[in-house]
Amino acid sequence: MATESQQKTPSPRGLEGVVAAQTAICKVEDNLLVYRGYPIEQLAAKADYEEVAYLLLNGDLPTRDQLRDFKAELIKHRALSPFLRNILQEASENGTPMDVLRTVVSASATEDPAEGDNSREAEYQKSVRLTAKMPTILAAYMRRRKGQQPVPPDASLGHAANFARMAGLEHPRAAEILNVCFILQAEHGLNASTFTARIVAATNADIHAAVTAAFGALKGPLHGGATDGTMKMLEEIGSPDHVDSFVEKGIERKFLFPGFGHRVYKTEDPRAKFLRNFARELQKDWKGPRYFDIQEKLVDAIAARRPKMSPAAAAKVNVVNVDFFAATTYTFLGIPADLGTSIFAVGRIAGWSAHIMEQHGDNRLIRPESEYTGPVGKRYIPIAER
């Protein structure tokens, strides 16, 4: 007779296909991304990031007065305290971008007036403060590692334009393009970092603890690090003429092509087309290597070889994801490739915060079971007999 553990159906690897939570924030399906009922195509083409952040945190788009007040709150909380500025300066000496962001965000809990308060109103205010400070933290880090002094926030500028100015980005389209990037990356369902945030929130830990954990998950290259890997790959290829041989050798050695593949999207990542357009347009004025041309040929070369791959190998290169063209878009704007994941986090902070509030609004501790595969029936042997 089968035991209870033998009768249980093992979970799929990586929990693929398992529904772990209900949410009203975001819907993700193949070639479909919807924030609280609004298709990403409409938001990315028409909205300001502040509107989308408000949407995620409040449930619907703001009225004109609500948006005015929300922007005023963000502006009010952009500046960093002397305490956080000092931590940022010290951490920037040797820390990676994600390490610095995670550390400063975690430290901000110690001075937050609502620390430990998980009420809806308190968490909403903390979400606003975190969303406001993220561009300031990253821009200050970017300047410090170049040996420059931070630039204070400008109350006359919007979220993306203020970041572009503080970060020293001189491209005339930087603010416009980063606004869209922040929107595209603001939310994406139960991805690894968001799931991590909800697991931590489910213990009734506060929003700073949950967001700090999300940063840790996003740092992993299988979740948020593909922009850096994509640029390293393009630099290694060097020229469109080298693409075919690179792909052949890559398939031979089972190389994981950065920027390719997605667990949910099977035919198209709806975010990628926006970044592809930006990369194509920005390359026209770019004086360096023809990275976008390499990308286009790389996409075609891999697509041509997919029918001959095993199903498992083909699934890993089924689509280009948001990071693939984000890598070149950021590069063309003058943003180093290793900052791509941090740009991602600046947009995603609103989505993380929305999920943490949703989890706390109807909470139950997330505690799945595991399937034991180790030995059984062993007998303890005293140390003298081993």
At 225-260, the pLDDT tens digits run 788 999 999 999 999 999 999 999 999 999 999 999
Q: Which residues contact 119 (CB under 8 A, 6 or more apart)?
A: none
The tokens describing 28, both together, are 């993700």
Q: Average the pLDDT over 180-194 and give the result.
A: 96
The tokens describing 163, both together, are 């970041």
The number of CA neighbours under 13 Å toward the Cβ of 330 is 24
CA distances, 53 to each of 10, 106, 141 (Å): 38, 21, 23
pLDDT higher than threshold 60 for residue 335: yes
The pLDDT of residue 222 is 79
The pLDDT of residue 1 is 46
Q: What predicted TM-score, i.e. pTM, was given to this entire model? A: 0.93
The band of 3, judged by pLDDT with boundaries at 50, 70 and 90, is low
pLDDT higher than threshold 60 for residue 2: no
Separation between Cα atoms, residue 291 and residue 235, nearest integer Å? 8
pLDDT tens for each residue of 282-327: 999 999 999 999 999 999 999 999 998 888 889 889 999 999 999 9
- Please give the CATH number for the structural domain made up of 24-171+207-212+345-361: 1.10.580.10
The tokens describing 252, both together, are 């031979």
Give the domain ranges of the chain: 24-171+207-212+345-361
Q: Is 323 a catalytic residue?
A: yes
Higher pLDDT, 312 or 80: 80
pLDDT tens for each residue of 336-381: 989 999 999 999 999 999 999 999 999 999 998 888 999 999 999 9
Higher pLDDT, 17 or 276: 276
Per the residue annotation, which of 188, 208, 262, 355 is the catalytic one? 262
The pLDDT of residue 19 is 84
Q: Average the pLDDT over 9-31 and give the result.
A: 86
For residues 321 and 222, is the Cβ–Cβ distance under 8 A? no
Q: What percent of the chain has pLDDT over 70?
A: 98
For residues 344 and 218, is the Cβ–Cβ distance under 8 A? yes
The pLDDT of residue 8 is 66
Q: Is 262 a catalytic residue?
A: yes
pLDDT higher than threshold 60 for residue 4: no
Per the residue annotation, which of 206, 323, 355, 360 is the catalytic one? 323
Residue 163, number of CB atoms within 10 A of its CB: 27
The pLDDT of residue 21 is 87
SS3 content of the chain, % helix, strand, coil (to 5): 60, 5, 35
pLDDT higher than threshold 60 for residue 6: no
The band of 187, judged by pLDDT with boundaries at 50, 70 and 90, is very high
User: Which one-letter amino acid corresponds to residue 174?
Assistant: A
